[in-house]
Amino acid sequence: MAPIFWFMRRSRVRAPIDLAAFGDGLAVHSSRDVSWRGDEVVCRGPRPAACLACGSTGTEETLVVHAHGFLERQLITVRRGQVVRVRLKKQRWRCYRCGRTSHSRPPDELPRVKACTLCVVVFLHAVLVFAGLGWAMGLPALCGNLISSRTVVRWRQRALVLAAATEEAIRKAVEKRARLEPGESHLGRGLSPPEWLLRRPWHQPGKVSGLWCGIQFLLTAHQTLSVGCADILAQARGLTGTASFLL
């Protein structure tokens, strides 16, 4: 078969990733006081009840930890169906007693990762759906300017290590949310990976399957429960406690 026909035959069934289907990243979390201001995101709270360094607490009237400016960084996220870079402003806190500072984090921000959790999931989804063709085939060209192929490979490797835990956390978060939302849901259907994906020469096909199921679970819940993917990811991350989540 001529290469072009081989390519068309393989790519025909794989539609480009619909970024809008994932909703927006860095969703507003009232518990963390996360809000959008134009093209920047501000994460204010909550105020730590005690200093993380010295443990001082103070009283309701004389809290030891007080607001002390903002810490800013660039974060890549998904908004209105596009992958974009935004400015994230995180409230910085300072302790009166020891002078040490800390800062608030939105649940969408992973330590030392340049993109929010939802953006990472979008790229991992593209890696799986376009396995054999290259993730860049499924995403807008601009995505390649924001996230390098080396970064995506690193994310894939790390995500596969944690695939089972990620799937379980997403599943628990969805189940928890489903009980809160009255009505019918069909979360158990169509979650298994397609055969062609598992036939590929993965080192650990079980982990690929776990990652696929977790992402499909997320997307199905987003559609059937009308809950933002970013919200579910935030809840799932909260359920993992101090353990690593996603990457």
Q: Is 95 in the site for Zn ion (CB under 5 A)?
A: yes
* 14 vs 94 by CB, closer to Zn ion: 94
Task: Please report how close the Cβ of residue 63 comes to Zn ion at its closest, in angstroms.
Answer: 12
Q: Is 52 in the site for Zn ion (CB under 5 A)?
A: no
Q: Which residue has the tokens 């956390």?
A: 169
One residue of 20, 21, 53, 243 binding Zn ion per CB under 5 A: 53
Report DSSP letters for the chain, one per residue: --HHHHHHHHHTT-PPP-GGGG--SS---TTTTEEEETTEEEE--PPPSS-TTT---B-SSSBSEEEEEEEEEEEEEEETTEEEEEEEEEEEEEETTT--EEE---TTPPTT-SB-HHHHHHHHHHHHHTTTT-GGGGS-HHHHHHS-HHHHHHHHHHHHHTHHHHHHHHHHHHHHHHHHS-S---TTSS-SPPHHHHTS--S-HHHHHHHHHHHHHHHHHHHHH---HHHHHHHHHHHTTTS----
Contact window for Zn ion (CB under 5 A) among 53-61, 101-109, 129-137, 150-158: 53-61
Q: Is 116 in the site for Zn ion (CB under 5 A)?
A: no
Q: Is 169 in the site for Zn ion (CB under 5 A)?
A: no
* 64 vs 116 by CB, closer to Zn ion: 64
* 69 vs 194 by CB, closer to Zn ion: 69
One residue of 8, 98, 142, 243 binding Zn ion per CB under 5 A: 98
One residue of 97, 103, 105, 158 binding Zn ion per CB under 5 A: 97
One residue of 51, 113, 143, 227 binding Zn ion per CB under 5 A: 51
Q: Is 54 in the site for Zn ion (CB under 5 A)?
A: yes
Task: Please report how close the Cβ of residue 99 comes to Zn ion at its closest, in angstroms.
Answer: 7
Instruction: Point out which residues bind Zn ion (CB under 5 A).
Output: 51, 53-54, 95, 97-98
